[in-house]
Structure formats: C-alpha cells, structure tokens
Structure 1
C-alpha cells in the first residue's frame, strides 16, 4: 500500500476513528491498572501497590513532656495517629520543606509508641536479604525507631530498628521466611536519639517531639483481597507482557483497518 496522498478529512471519518481509538484504549488502561499494581513512593517500590500500607491504628501511646511554658512536645496536628495510615503523604528527607498545613504525620514523643495493623494484606519474608518492611518518617532526617512485628497482636518479635542509614527492615535477617505472615507492626521512639522537644516557628509552637511517622508499608506483602494479579496466570510477568503486546497489535490493526475502510490513503 503506497502512501500516495491524504484525502480531506470528513467529520464522520474523524469521529469514527476517535471513537474507535477510545474504545480500544479503555480496556488496555483497565487491564494495565489491574495487572501492574507496583507503586513507587520516594524511590521505594511496593509490588502490591497501595494495599501494602497499614490500615488501622491499634494503639497510640505518646510520651509527652511539658516544658516550663506549659507547652507539650506532642500537640495538634501531630497527635493524630490516623496520620500514620495509608500511603506516605507528608514531608520526607527528599521533600523536607513541606508547609506545616500540608504535613500529615504523627509524633511519638520521647519513647512513645504506635501499633498499626494490616487488614487487606500481610507482611511476610522475601526469602532473601531484600528489605521487607519500610517506615516512612517525616522531616529532614530519619530518627531512630525500634520495630516489632506480630502475627496476632499478642506475641511480639523485635526486628531491630530504623534510622538514618537503615530506613527499612529485612525480617528474614531475624529468622522469618516466606511462610511467616504478620498483621501488626509496633514502632517505638528511641528516647536517646533525635529531637524530643517542640519548636517555635514564627511565634507558633509546634509540638512534634520524637519520631514522626508518616506511613508503614510492607514491601514483601501477601494480599488478602483476590485480584487479577494474584489469582490467575497474570501473576507471571511473561503473561502480562504477552497480553499487552497482543492488545497493542490489536489497536494497530484496528487503526489500519479504519484508515483503509474510510480511504484516508489511496
């Protein structure tokens, strides 16, 4: 077929072509969204997507100090434990200067703790030395936090601590494997590291003493909600790519067909 000349476009031809492209693109977008769930936050990849993050607060026990002026080192809005749920959405060492009214994290005070639960997924081991659990702490630096995990919320197991050099935890390093599943994570501020006092900012007192928790995510995660990506052959990358190649070919074939049918080319 030669590309001899382009005939004047007619409204009907243009309309049909646009509708065709939209109809063919829509299922591709839906399928791609379903089978490629991997989400990246601040350079950290979560293969299970947004369900990787903690869903509910079990307990929040900040340890509060009152200074000579009667001001607390943990105060509103940094005393809302729900700020630690869901995806990271506060400041971060890679984006530390977020305006205060945009901050969405919770402070633990001096040696305080917060216990979170995964409800639509479970934390598990990776079977190697890769990071399995990531704690997003708000602010310019990552303060030291002790980390414990539990299967039932009763028996707890220490998996070390996060800090400036190690913001993630490899639970395999502590003897856990891919057949171990955990619903709970408890974070406890290290009272001997970091800043546990509030600060004055433009004559406004900010009570964000201790570690400031933005989000907790399971990189090595098992979903409790059936999805196309974990309940079918689409869980294998080769099938994902084969499907996308087929759909791409189908779109190209359809476009070529309509160009011929409506004689865009001689």
Structure 2
C-alpha cells in the first residue's frame, strides 16, 4: 500500500511524457520519431497557376499531410498522394503533435518530399510561435532556392535559428517562371527560350509548380500536452489509485 501512490504518479508521468516513438524509414530517409514526424495540418494554401494559364487541378493540400505516400514517379495528373502548388503557389503546413527543432550539427533536420516532371524551383521558411509569429528562411548548398526532388535541409544553418528553438510551421513557395528580357530565357525553369511554342516546352500543363507529397521533421520532439488534458490524465491515475485502495480496504 505504501508504494501505490508513487506508482500511480509515475504512471501519470509516463502518460504525460507521451507514447514511445517507433523509428521509421520513408523513401530512404530515417525518421527516429516515426510517423509523428510528419506535418498534420494545412495552415493555408494559395494555389498558383498552370503554365500557359489555368489552375492546377491537383490542389488537395491534405495530400501533403502525414507520412509521405506518393513517390516522385507518381503518374502525372492522377493527383494520387501529392498537391501541386502551381506557378507561384504557397503552402503552409503545421506540426501539431510534434515540434521541429535544430539538431545542433550540420545534419538534415527537415525533409521536404517534392516531385515533378522536371526540376521545380521553390523556397522554404519555418515558423515559430502558436501563430507563426516569426519566420526564418532556409537555405541549402546552392543558396535559398531549392531545385525539386526530395530535399533535406539543415535548419541550424538558417540565419537567426538558435539551439532550443521549436518550430510548428513550414511554408513552401513555388517560384513562378518569367521571361528575362536581358537573356531571352525563362527564369526559374529549365532554361528554355522565351516565346517559344508551348508545345515544345517541358510538359507541366495544368500541373505546374512543385508537387509536395510530404514534409517531415527528422529532428523533433513531441508537442507539450495542454494543461487541461494533462490534468485529466493525472485525475484518472489518482482515481484508479482511490479505487484500488477501496478494494484493498
């Protein structure tokens, strides 16, 4: 009987600490915290336009949530497991049950699973605070513009990111193509000439822009349990203790 209360409190503490994570590997990328690592909520989405006009039809942003399920070889136009941002589209995702944190070294902390029929140019920010009050632009080996495909990012290298920071949001912006009159070439594209017949351009039609099929925090911690929920857990544990004492009384 003398050990019942400490045991109950220990059980409650274990509940508050959250469930133990099971590591997983997704498309060759290791996520030590498992499925909890992936974005859970679409905070906002503003689709861009399809090259040559129109809006990309693959605009179900929920396809970017959870464990990445569509690969870079997904059939174009089937919208199975990815969202097309469109030219100039903006997608903001939120982690709700976990938080992205810097690792303190040069390894990748964030993985953006991106695809497309050819290299797509995009930029990435991470946001801190309940309402993403502050944003930090991320960069890679070639600067702050990423070139499509599954992209790992070291957030420690971003200006202003410090040890101990915890991030809830990831924003992805597709750089729209435009004609550079000085060079006569399309910028943020694969280098085709301006004004050429669209039939001779690399096809992306209405599925323009980078295709996102998952965003995962490689370096992460569980999100804190709200106080009301924590109190209910503790009350439940203590209630079980009272019932145990009555049975043994």
Instruction: Give the TM-score band, short-chain normalised.
Output: 0.5 to 0.7
Corresponding residue of 2:215:
216
Paired position in structure 2 for 1:130: 107
TM-score by length of 2: 0.63
Aligned position for 1:248: none
Residue in structure 1 matched with residue 121 of structure 2 by the alignment: 144
Instruction: Please report the TM-score for the alignment, with normalisation by the length of structure 1.
Output: 0.59
Q: How does 1:47-126 map to 2 (within 5 A)?
A: 47-65=32-50, 67=52, 72-75=54-57, 78-92=58-72, 96-98=73-75, 101=78, 103-126=80-103
**Cα displacement (A) at 1:102:** 6.8
Give unpaired runs (5+ residues) of structure 2. Answer: 1-18, 140-144, 177-186, 191-197, 226-249
Partners of 1:165 and 1:108 in 2: how far apart?
Answer: 14
What residue ranges of structure 1 are gaps of 5+ in the alignment?
A: 1-33, 227-266
Contact 2:114–2:148 (CA under 8 A) maintained in structure 1: no
Give the drift of 1:118: 0.3
Paired residue for 2:134?
Answer: 155
RMSD over aligned Cα atoms: 2.8
Offset of residue 168 of structure 1: 1.4
Q: Flag the structure with higher helix content.
A: 1
Rounded to whole Å, the distance in 1 between the matches of 2:120 and 2:152 is: 12
Deviation at 1:107, TM superposition (A): 1.0
| Deviates most, 183-192 or 136-145 | 136-145
Number of equivalenced pairs: 178
For residue 48 of structure 1, report the CA deviation from its aligned partner: 0.6
- Could you tell me how far 1:178 is from its partner in structure 2? 3.6
Aligned-residue offset at 1:114 = 0.5
